[in-house]
Amino acid sequence: MLMDFDRIRQEAFESNMRLPELGLVIFTFGNVSVADPKQKVFAIKPSGVPYEELSADSMVVVGYDGKVVDGDLRPSSDTATHAVLYRNWKELGAIVHTHSTYATAWAQSQKDIPIYGTTHADHLTVPVPCAPPMSDKMIRGDYEIETGNQILQLFTKKKLDYREVEMMLVGNHAPFAWGKSASKAVYNAAVLEEIARMAYITKQINPKAPMLKKALIKKHFERKHGPQAYYGQK
């Protein structure tokens, strides 16, 4: 049976090109993958190729087992991390990994990003979680696979649902975001960077800034995502 990868290749290409446009990457820092759950494959940026040299045809198609299915180039060095998440989180449509400045700074600080304001609450009801630094044993193992395991372990420990919390930080590393579609995953990556920037500035202005009240968190999240949501158009 002939497999068709055109859609995910095109979406992966367009989504990767959005990262420098949004100021989320410089040089070759970052990648987007787009999945086809029916075929259990995803298209991802090739490793180390400058964004101006990318095309839809240069996207590498990889199976959920992490093995290249189609493509002449070596896939992103983070491919195995993406594969771990797709294997375990069945409703994922796309994953974004960047080293955007503010989100990465929070990751390097090994800190969750607190909910200080309604911008954060429009998207999450919890702080943006930060996974603890990887253990020496994990580092000595298959590093990229263990990065995926690190993310899974954090969500299990904190009892978080990846369908509700679509962004996180890997301690001492950088942010990851995802969604059911490529556009939503890129959106979440951009929102994460802005939330991180706002939280950093908030702490500079008032190091003792209080967390947002639970009532406001609930109100802002539910007006966008609740059963009686009224944000936007019908």
CB 152 within 8 A of CB 88: yes
Clarify whether 102 is annotated catalytic. no
Query: Using H for helix, E for strand and C for coil, what is the string for the chain?
Result: CCCCCHHHHHHHHHHHHHHHHCCCCCCCCCEEEEEECCCCEEEECECCCCHHHCCHHHCEEEECCCCEEECCCCECCCHHHHHHHHHHCCCCCEEEECCCHHHHHHHHCCCCECCCCHHHHCCCCCCECEECCCCHHHHHCCHHHHHHHHHHHHHHHCCCCCCCCCEEEECCCCEEEEECCHHHHHHHHHHHHHHHHHHHHHHHHCCCCCCCCHHHHHHHHHHHHCCCCCCCCC
Annotated catalytic residue within 36, 70, 112, 122: 122
> Which is the catalytic residue, given 4, 6, 142, 231?
231
What does the block give as tokens for 35?
A: 């999945």
Tell me whether residue 231 is one of the annotated catalytic residues: yes
Query: What are the residue numbers of the active site?
Result: 122, 231
